[in-house]
């Protein structure tokens, strides 16, 4: 029962506080931080033994970084190399330098200043990635820069931890530092090789067993194994899991692995933020609140200014730079880990430790609030930085089709539009899909189609057709409403899985609603008619009739047939006959051949040079390579082919014609 009381308190408080945050539309992570503060020394003080909670929290961060890695491919990481190395190094160096100078003067010691500078450099990887992941911002321009800087910080924590004993004048040497950093690089490379070759082979063997339990156990073993290996060799557990996630991300099993670990991640990650809230000390808050306020404001502003400057160096817009600066302005969990080590080495005082922990926690609480305020008060700019729209492509859009979603249905529609030569643009929320299809030449952009600002960027006011091809019914309704409001004149086509959505989507402005269930039934209906030798033109007419009547025939269980098409068209055939070189029918008019009189077949149309001549008259002269569309029974078709090929009817055909003439 060790620690069970604390777990119960945390579960009850988390349920109440997170539900309240959800009602207020606040991030759930903020609720978990507040739970930690409420149950810790500053609040009710009911949680005394936090060791078990801290262990579970660390596992939660491992799961978080693994799932983030699953969403990023190796090619993505290679593209981010410059941002990781240059952006991360600049952020750490400038941040540490500024804080070192300030605290060096404040405490009269340059060594203390540098130590505190190193401790406040890391931002919260868990907080930032969770916030951006939940809001779909992780693969935006500012999301990618934030991720790059966080990765560099996590790698650098290994070196920072080794620098602390050197400040304490221990036996650590510069060669030991270089060796430790080199070892961290070797461990990362080893995990890459293992994941690239060993993991896919193992997963294929496991999938062949068709056991979900075994697949889950292998996934957990992979997460914990790579984290443990990284931890034993000097890296953080979370960083090892992150690298494992990246190398598995390009396999066909990545989506299933993500689904398996997601419940563990969400629960344990919540415990992590509770454990952070428990660190706040009551005596620090009560003794020097104004000093605490000064630390919080100073750290937030300085880290914000540094990151905004780096973002502008990478040519991000001011809007994206501000979002990046706010996201990385807090002091994160790895800083708190280093605070514990620095205190053990007596590099900082207990007062400095308490103030730093309190300031870090307050900055972590404020970050979600600031981001939420930015998103609410700056919606247009948020949409602009979130939407990865090619400006030149957007300027060329006119009388185009906007296609939302690039799943199976979206791809099929896009292929049809390419075949027809229609100008179109695709909106997709999966950044990996966007990058892959852009390389294939598809006009596609990343963004949320529920945003009217994104639709403006894609010139929805000039669009001719708007198509939604996504599965989410609620999101489809929102998108249809936004599209209709933005352009009342364009045609809006919505795909839905459910019959019940036809009416609501019509009311919201959809001109055409395509329910998957009924479209499948209509195609089966058409195939059945063709099997009874009913002409294709009549099949197409019947299918159009069903759609025009909004599937009423399929909805009405009491409907009865008006006419039996199987009897009506019994024996009727429609065939194409190509006039080949040497056929006698070429260079003759239809009147000279008397096809209908001599054979009983009717010429419906003639195809010549990709042009259709419908219901041609007797004076129409045939030529080689013409294609005749003929209607008639089997005997009429046979006689028509003989007459066109030989110029005369065969003996058997003549006798049949004489008999029919006598009967008449």
Question: What's 493's domain CATH number?
Answer: 3.40.50.720
Cα 28 to chain centroid distance, Å, stands at 21
Average pLDDT on 315-335 reads 84
Average pLDDT on 335-357 reads 78
Domain boundary among 356, 384, 412: 384
Average model confidence (pLDDT) across the chain: 76
Residues 324 and 405 in one domain: no
User: What pLDDT shows up at residue 325?
Assistant: 92
User: What pLDDT shows up at residue 402?
Assistant: 92
217 has a pLDDT exceeding 60: yes
Side-chain half-sphere exposure of 57, counting CA atoms within 13 A = 22
Q: What percent of the chain has pLDDT over 70?
A: 71
Residues 468 and 370 in one domain: no
Better-predicted residue by pLDDT, 415 or 525: 415
pLDDT tens, 470-518?
877 778 888 898 899 889 989 998 888 777 778 888 888 888 888 775 6
541 has a pLDDT exceeding 70: yes
Question: What's 140's domain CATH number?
Answer: 1.20.1530.20
654 has a pLDDT exceeding 70: no
CA distance linking residue 546 with residue 337, whole number of Å: 67
Residues 361 and 372 in one domain: yes
The phi, psi pair for 3, rounded to 5°, reads 80, 0
User: What secondary structure, in 3-state letters, does 387-442 show?
Assistant: CECCHHHHHCCCCCEEEECCCHHHHHHHHHHHHHCCCEEEEECCHHHHHHHHHCCC
Report the candidate in 62, 34, 43, 63 with the shortest Cα–Cα distance to residue 276: 34
User: What pLDDT shows up at residue 664?
Assistant: 45
Residues counted in the chain: 664
CA distance linking residue 35 with residue 22, whole number of Å: 14
Could you tell me if residue 395 is inside a domain?
yes
H helix or E strand, kind and range, residue 303: helix 289-313
Domain count, the chain: 4
Average pLDDT on 72-88 reads 74
Domain boundary among 355, 384, 413: 384
Residues 198 and 308 in one domain: yes
pLDDT tens, 172-212?
455 665 666 566 667 667 666 766 667 777 777 777 777 77
CB 304 within 8 A of CB 97: no
Question: How far are the Cα atoms of 641, 650, 657 from residue 637, in angstroms, in the given order?
Answer: 6, 13, 13
Residues 535 and 630 in one domain: no
Domain range spanning residue 427?
387-510
Buried b vs exposed e over 21-39: b needs ≥16 C-beta within 10 Å? beeeebbbbbbbbbbbbbb
Mean pLDDT is lowest, of 114-128, 315-329, 393-407, for: 393-407
Could you tell me if residue 428 is inside a domain?
yes
406 has a pLDDT exceeding 70: yes
Residue 553 pLDDT level (bands cut at 50, 70, 90): low
Residues 391 and 482 in one domain: yes
Residues 329 and 208 in one domain: yes
38 has a pLDDT exceeding 70: yes
CB 119 within 8 A of CB 338: yes
Could you tell me if residue 419 is inside a domain?
yes
Residues 210 and 137 in one domain: yes
Average pLDDT on 125-150 reads 77
**Ranges 82-86, 164-168, 401-405, most confident:** 401-405
User: What would the two tokens of residue 196 be?
Assistant: 């690239």
Question: How far are the Cα atoms of 93, 494, 518, 548 from residue 523, in angstroms, in the given order?
Answer: 64, 19, 9, 15
Could you tell me if residue 46 is inside a domain?
no
Could you tell me if residue 4 is inside a domain?
no
Could you tell me if residue 16 is inside a domain?
no
Collapsed DSSP state (helix, strand, coil) of residue 323: helix
Domain boundary among 344, 360, 384: 384
pLDDT tens, 84-127?
888 888 999 999 899 888 888 887 778 888 888 888 888 887 78
Residues 545 and 586 in one domain: no
pLDDT tens, 610-623?
788 888 888 888 98
Average pLDDT on 581-598 reads 85
**Ranges 28-37, 231-240, 303-312, most confident:** 303-312
Question: What's 640's domain CATH number?
Answer: 3.30.70.1450
Could you tell me if residue 9 is inside a domain?
no
Residues 62 and 206 in one domain: yes
Residue 533 pLDDT level (bands cut at 50, 70, 90): low
658 has a pLDDT exceeding 50: no
Q: What percent of the chain has pLDDT over 90?
A: 5
Residues 487 and 632 in one domain: no
**Ranges 153-167, 307-321, 642-656, most confident:** 307-321
Mean pLDDT is lowest, of 361-375, 459-473, 637-651, for: 637-651
399 has a pLDDT exceeding 90: no
Sheet containing 627-632: which strands, arranged edge to edge? Answer: 573-578, 627-632, 602-608, 611-614
Could you tell me if residue 22 is inside a domain?
no
User: What pLDDT shows up at residue 660?
Assistant: 47
DSSP-derived pairing of the beta strands 424-428 and 401-404: parallel
Residues 349 and 465 in one domain: no
């Amino acid at each position: 029962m060790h620690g069970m009381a604390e777990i119960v308190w945390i579960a009850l408080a988390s349920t109440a506080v997170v539900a309240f945050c959800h009602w207020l539309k606040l991030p759930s992570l903020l609720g978990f931080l507040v739970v930690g503060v409420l149950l810790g020394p500053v609040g009710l003080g009911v949680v005394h033994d936090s060791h078990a909670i801290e262990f579970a929290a660390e596992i939660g961060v491992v799961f978080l970084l693994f799932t983030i890695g699953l969403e990023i491919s190796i090619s993505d990481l290679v593209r981010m190399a410059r941002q990781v190395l240059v952006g991360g190094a600049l952020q750490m160096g400038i941040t540490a330098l500024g804080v070192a100078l300030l605290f060096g003067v404040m405490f009269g010691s340059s060594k203390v200043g540098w130590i505190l500078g190193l401790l406040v450099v890391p931002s919260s990887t868990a907080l930032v990635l969770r916030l951006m992941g939940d809001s779909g911002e992780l693969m935006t321009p500012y999301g990618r820069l934030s991720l790059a800087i966080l990765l560099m910080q996590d790698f650098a924590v290994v070196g920072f931890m080794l620098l602390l004993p050197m400040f304490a004048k221990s036996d650590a040497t510069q060669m030991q530092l270089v060796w430790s950093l080199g070892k961290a690089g070797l461990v990362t490379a080893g995990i890459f090789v293992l994941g690239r070759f060993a993991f896919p082979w193992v997963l294929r063997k496991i999938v062949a067993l068709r056991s979900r339990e075994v697949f889950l156990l292998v996934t957990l073993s992979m997460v914990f194994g790579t984290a443990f290996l990284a931890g034993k060799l000097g890296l953080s557990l979370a960083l090892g899991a992150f690298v494992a996630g990246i190398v598995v991300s390009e396999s066909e099993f990545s989506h299933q692995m993500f689904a398996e670990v997601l419940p563990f991640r969400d629960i344990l990650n919540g415990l992590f933020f509770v454990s952070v809230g428990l660190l706040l000390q009551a005596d620090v808050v009560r003794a020097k609140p104004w000093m605490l306020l000064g630390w919080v404001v100073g750290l937030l502003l300085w880290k914000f200014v540094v990151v905004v400057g780096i973002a502008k160096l990478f040519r991000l817009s001011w809007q994206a730079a501000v979002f990046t600066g706010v996201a990385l302005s807090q002091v994160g969990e790895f800083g708190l880990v280093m605070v514990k080590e620095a205190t053990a080495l007596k590099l900082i005082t207990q007062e400095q430790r308490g103030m730093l922990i309190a300031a870090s926690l307050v900055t972590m609480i404020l970050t979600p609030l600031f981001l939420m305020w930015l998103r609410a008060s700056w919606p247009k700019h948020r949409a602009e930085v979130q939407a990865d729209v090619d400006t030149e492509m957007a300027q060329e859009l006119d009388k185009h089709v906007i296609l939302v979603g690039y799943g199976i249905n979206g791809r099929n529609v896009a292929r049809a539009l390419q075949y027809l030569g229609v100008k179109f643009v695709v909106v997709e929320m999966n950044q990996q899909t966007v990058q892959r299809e852009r390389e294939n030449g598809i006009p596609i952009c990343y963004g949320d189609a529920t945003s009217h600002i994104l639709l403006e960027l894609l010139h929805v006011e000039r669009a001719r057709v708007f198509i939604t091809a996504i599965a989410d019914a609620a999101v489809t309704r929102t998108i249809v409403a936004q599209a209709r409001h933005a352009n009342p004149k364009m045609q809006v086509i919505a795909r839905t899985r459910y019959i019940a959505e036809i009416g609501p989507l019509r009311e919201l402005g959809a001109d055409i609603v395509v329910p998957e269930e009924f479209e499948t039934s209509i195609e089966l209906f058409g195939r059945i008619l063709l099997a009874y030798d009913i002409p294709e033109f009549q099949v197409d007419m019947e299918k159009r009739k069903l759609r025009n009547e909004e599937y009423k025939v399929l909805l009405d269980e009491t409907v009865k047939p008006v006419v039996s098409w199987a009897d009506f068209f019994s024996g009727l055939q429609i065939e194409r006959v190509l006039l080949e070189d040497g056929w006698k029918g070429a260079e003759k008019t239809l009147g000279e051949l008397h096809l209908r009189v001599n054979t009983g077949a009717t010429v419906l149309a003639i195809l010549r040079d990709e042009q259709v001549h419908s219901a041609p008259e007797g004076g129409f002269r045939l030529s080689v390579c013409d294609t005749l569309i003929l209607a008639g029974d089997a005997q009429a078709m046979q006689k028509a082919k003989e007459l066109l090929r030989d110029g005369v009817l065969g003996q058997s055909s003549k006798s049949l014609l004489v008999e029919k003439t006598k009967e008449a």
